[in-house]
């Protein structure tokens, strides 16, 4: 409920065409991060959408610096942008990528799960569920152009797409590392991984909290392609052509056939899953583990 209200408010206030500054005309050319102009870009503070309706796709750039952690606001903005693209018949695909150098996404925002109250945890978890459901089941072709490290929730986001291209940089590890934080990946994170890499690889990766560098990620099937760093975006665009050449209804129905049983499991147990999360994350031992982990991240700098 709170999420629905939050999304309505954000839809009105945030989802606007990209504008040059106060008073600029909506829908006109605007600047794109990294230089150049973008005709008809739109988005919100944390999500920039560069549409190419003639080609049938849009690039969704995550820009929640420093690390694209999936805060409640960020999740909501991503959902709104996805919804907008899904409801426009001009779009058949999206490429999701990052605007934060070296980071695809650091995963769920630890600050949303630490030192807050149960109502907040419930609202946050519902938004996380929603993001996964919407991306996993989207009728659009979703390609991840992974141009940075992507642990835990960042990996889940990538796994929810139809195809993953990873930049060949040894720092860009990908995986569900929850156990390293002393937390447990929920069953739908686990199912998404199993569906991608198979049971044995997933079992080992989940228990050990493995983060796979590019060559390993490719070997186990966590990603579909590894390319030189400067070719991630072009490789994602190239592969898109193959996906868009397939009759849309046949591809969409096939995607649903493959993914619905996994999504249905969460849909059936959604409230229970929220309750489980709230109980789990509220435990003193878990809160302590998260605080220690955040502290370690801070100390790493000094
Ligand atoms: C019994 C069954 C019950 C089931 C219940 C289910 C329970 C499941 C619960 C939770 C599931 C969670 C999944 C997740 O996604 S948890 C998040 C996991 N993410 C990580 O482990 C990544 C942590 N971050 C890093 O490793 C690095 O930050 C990195 C992404 C590699 C980037 O490194 P670097 O460029 O060096 O940047 P810094 O480390 O200096 O970070 C910059 C600032 O950003 C803050 N930060 C980093 N990650 C996060 C995050 N995930 N959330 C919030 N904030 C984050 C970091 O602290 C720095 O902040 P500051 O500048 O203030 O010091």
Reply yes or no on whether the pLDDT at 72 is more than 50. Answer: yes
Query: How far from chain centre, in Å, is Cα 132?
Result: 8
Confidence of residue 28 (pLDDT cuts 50, 70, 90): very low
Is the Cβ–Cβ distance between 273 and 125 less than 8 Å? yes
How far does the centroid of ligand 1 lie from the alpha carbon of residue 62, in Å? 16
Q: How far is CA 237 from CA 143, 159, 255, in A?
A: 9, 18, 20
Write the pLDDT tens digit of every residue in 145-165: 999 999 999 999 999 999 999
153 lines ligand 1 (CB under 6 A): yes
Reply yes or no on whether the pLDDT at 29 is more than 60. Answer: no
Write the pLDDT tens digit of every residue in 194-218: 999 999 999 999 999 999 999 999 9
280 lines ligand 1 (CB under 6 A): yes
Write the pLDDT tens digit of every residue in 253-300: 999 999 999 999 999 999 999 999 999 999 999 999 999 999 999 998
Is the Cβ–Cβ distance between 205 and 212 less than 8 Å? yes
Reply yes or no on whether the pLDDT at 30 is more than 70. Answer: no
* Confidence (pLDDT) at 292: 95
C-alpha span between 64 and 184 (Å, rounded): 25
* Confidence (pLDDT) at 33: 41
* Confidence (pLDDT) at 300: 83
Q: What is the mean pLDDT of the chain?
A: 90
Reply yes or no on whether the pLDDT at 31 is more than 90. Answer: no
Share of residues in the chain with pLDDT > 70 (%): 87
Reply yes or no on whether the pLDDT at 26 is more than 60. Answer: no
What is the mean pLDDT of the segment spanning 241-255? Answer: 97
**E-state strands within the chain:** 16-17, 30-31, 37-38, 42-44, 47-52, 57-62, 93-98, 102-103, 141-146, 148-151, 163-167, 174-175, 225-227
* Confidence (pLDDT) at 37: 60
Write the pLDDT tens digit of every residue in 97-137: 999 999 999 999 999 999 999 999 999 999 999 999 999 99
Q: What is the DSSP letter of 108?
A: B
* Confidence (pLDDT) at 76: 97
68 lines ligand 1 (CB under 6 A): no
Pocket test for ligand 1, best of 67, 98, 108, 125 (most atoms within 8 A of CB): 67
Structural element, H or E, at residue 132? helix 118-137
Atom 21 (ligand 1) nearest CA: 151
Confidence of residue 39 (pLDDT cuts 50, 70, 90): low
Could you tell me if the ipTM is greater than 0.85?
yes
Residue 107 alpha carbon, nearest atom of ligand 1: 15
Confidence of residue 301 (pLDDT cuts 50, 70, 90): confident
Pocket test for ligand 1, best of 62, 207, 297 (most atoms within 8 A of CB): 297
Task: Identify the three-state secondary structure at position 45.
Answer: coil
């Amino acid at each position: 409920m709170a999420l629905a209200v939050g999304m309505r408010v954000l839809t009105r206030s945030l989802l606007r065409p990209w504008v040059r500054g106060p008073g600029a005309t909506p829908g006109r050319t605007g600047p794109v991060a990294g230089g150049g102009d973008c005709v008809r870009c739109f988005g919100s503070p944390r999500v920039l959408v560069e549409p190419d309706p003639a080609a049938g796709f849009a690039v969704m750039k995550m820009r929640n610096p420093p690390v694209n952690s999936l805060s409640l606001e960020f999740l909501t903005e991503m959902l709104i942008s996805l919804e907008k693209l899904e409801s426009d018949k001009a779009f058949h695909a999206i490429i999701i990528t990052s605007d934060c150098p070296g980071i695809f996404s650091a995963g769920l925002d630890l600050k949303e799960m630490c030192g807050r109250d149960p109502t907040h945890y419930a609202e946050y978890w519902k938004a996380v569920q929603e993001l996964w459901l919407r991306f996993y089941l989207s009728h659009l072709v979703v390609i991840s152009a992974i141009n940075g490290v992507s642990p835990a929730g960042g990996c889940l986001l990538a796994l929810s797409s139809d195809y993953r291209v990873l930049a060949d940089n040894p720092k860009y590890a990908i995986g569900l590392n929850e156990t390293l934080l002393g937390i447990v990946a929920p069953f739908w994170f686990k199912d998404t991984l199993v569906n991608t890499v198979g049971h044995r690889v997933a079992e080992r990766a989940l228990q050990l909290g493995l983060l796979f560098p590019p060559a390993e990620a490719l070997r186990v099937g966590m990603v579909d392609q590894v390319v030189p760093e400067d070719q991630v975006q072009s490789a994602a665009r190239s592969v898109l052509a193959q996906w868009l050449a397939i009759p849309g209804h046949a591809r969409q129905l096939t995607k649903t056939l493959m993914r619905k049983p996994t999504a249905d499991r969460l849909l059936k147990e959604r409230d229970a899953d929220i309750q489980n999360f709230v109980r789990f994350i509220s435990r003193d031992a878990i809160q302590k583990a998260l605080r220690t982990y955040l502290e370690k991240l801070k100390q790493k700098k000094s």
